[in-house]
Amino acid sequence: MKFKNCFIIAELSANHGGKLSVAQETVRAAKRAGADAIKLQTYTADTITLDVRTDDFKINQGTAWDGQYFYDLYKDAALPWEWHQTLFDTAKEEGLICFSSPFDKTAVDFLEELNTPIYKIASFEITDIPLIEYAASKGKPMIISTGIATTDDIKLAIEACKRMGNHDITILKCTSAYPAAPEDANLNTIPDIARRFEVTSGLSDHTMGIEAAVVAVSLGAKVIEKHFILDKAIGGADAHFSLDEGEFKQMVDAVRLAEKMMGQVNYEMTEKKKKSREFSRSLYVVEDVEAGDQITTKNVRSIRPGYGMHPKYYGEVLGKTFRNAVVKGTPLQNEVIE
């Protein structure tokens, strides 16, 4: 994908409250908030884990989900597959790009039927090389999050895409904590990803608020992904670190303003800059002098405005004499110097 401006993704995730109508209105709200795309997650509890009641399958990581079994969490959070077509259609009506994260090969096959334009590999799936290869083989742009990844994991994921002939790869800096602490964001990794792996880089943001997204754009992020919810009162697995419509719009506006402020490298002397130079320093006669008087630090100084000689000539003119009488407040020019 080629990005003129930062590509801003609203992540629907589990923020649907178990109602298709809520999911549809969330898509519409994402459009109102200024998102470029809405992203879904395509899995079932059975495609992502097992219904096993042992400690291996119980969450105990200091998260908001601790105490739950994987199976129960994903069963409640999953977006029903029968909703996907409706949500893809709703997004199209709104002028939004709609795509998804597949979590197994059956999800990839299903999303191909929906003609998804992009595949997103979630943070915890970056080690699933067979899944990445299968998704990449479809020839769609690949976006991959790095939340749990080592540099070797990132390299392996990129190589998996390239083996399938897919070189359209975007890697997102991600901190897999929900929410992520600001001190763990390490946003300077974003430009390093772009340089080190020769890919497009961006941010999948789990911090609270909008600041990380704005900083990320200033560091060169071409993609921002942020969890989005219609109303936090809906609750659900991801509600506590998601932005609502007003917050998301604030983020989008701040990102767009940051992009505008960054502009481009430009040293051109515009007419406005030329006019402003009138307020710069230059050499002026600061007391009345007579013809033959010597130029000294007392009668010539570098002051505002900028109509006199450039201050770089100050050392050269000191000790020379005035050709004629000059009144205080006259810009120093070559014509009055012997």
Q: What is the pLDDT of residue 39?
A: 98
Domain co-membership, 303 together with 228? no
Residue 255 maps to a domain: yes
Of the three residues 240, 262, 284, the one that is the final residue of a domain is: 262
For tokens 């999050």, name the residue.
145
The answer to whether 208 and 235 have CB atoms below 8 angstroms apart is no
Domain co-membership, 114 together with 256? yes
- The CATH number linked to 305 is 3.90.1210.10
Q: What is the pLDDT of residue 1?
A: 77
Residue 57 maps to a domain: no
Calpha distance 144→124 (Å, rounded) = 10
Of the three residues 220, 235, 262, the one that is the final residue of a domain is: 262
* The two structure tokens encoding residue 32: 């109102």
Domain co-membership, 17 together with 159? yes
Please return the burial class of 181, using the count of CB atoms within 10 Å of its CB with bins 0-12, 13-18 and 19+: exposed
Give how far Cα 78 sits from Cα of 27, 132, 175, 245, 263, Å: 16, 21, 22, 22, 41
Per-residue pLDDT tens listing for the chain (338 residues):
777 899 999 999 899 999 999 999 999 999 999 999 999 999 999 999 999 999 999 988 777 778 889 999 889 889 999 999 999 999 999 999 999 999 999 999 999 999 999 999 999 999 999 999 999 999 999 999 998 899 999 999 999 999 999 999 999 999 988 889 999 999 999 999 999 999 999 999 999 999 999 999 999 999 999 999 999 988 877 888 899 999 999 999 999 999 999 998 999 999 999 999 999 999 999 999 999 999 999 999 999 999 999 999 999 999 999 999 999 999 999 999 99
Domain co-membership, 238 together with 296? no
The answer to whether 283 and 317 have CB atoms below 8 angstroms apart is yes
Domain co-membership, 247 together with 277? no
Kindly give the pairing relationship between strand 223-227 and strand 7-11: parallel
The answer to whether 123 and 150 have CB atoms below 8 angstroms apart is no
The answer to whether 22 and 30 have CB atoms below 8 angstroms apart is no
Sign of torsion, CA 210 215 217 221? Answer: negative
Calpha distance 246→256 (Å, rounded) = 15
Q: Is the peptide bond before 179 cis (omega within 30 degrees of 0)?
A: yes
**144: β partners:** 121, 171
* The two structure tokens encoding residue 179: 């929410």
Structural domain including 296 reads 271-336
Residue 195 maps to a domain: yes
- The CATH number linked to 82 is 3.20.20.70
Domain co-membership, 17 together with 156? yes
For tokens 């190589």, name the residue.
159
Residue 50 maps to a domain: no
Domain co-membership, 234 together with 297? no
Domain co-membership, 287 together with 250? no
Calpha distance 132→216 (Å, rounded) = 25
Domain co-membership, 220 together with 279? no
Residue 286 maps to a domain: yes
Q: What is the pLDDT of residues 258-315, one digit of tens each?
A: 999 999 899 999 999 999 999 999 999 999 999 999 999 999 999 999 999 999 999 9
Domain co-membership, 171 together with 255? yes
Q: What is the pLDDT of residues 204-223, one digit of tens each?
A: 999 999 999 999 999 999 99
Residue 26 maps to a domain: yes
C-beta atoms surrounding 136 within 10 Å: 27
Domain co-membership, 275 together with 180? no
Domain co-membership, 27 together with 172? yes
Of the three residues 230, 262, 294, the one that is the final residue of a domain is: 262
| Count of structural domains within the chain | 2
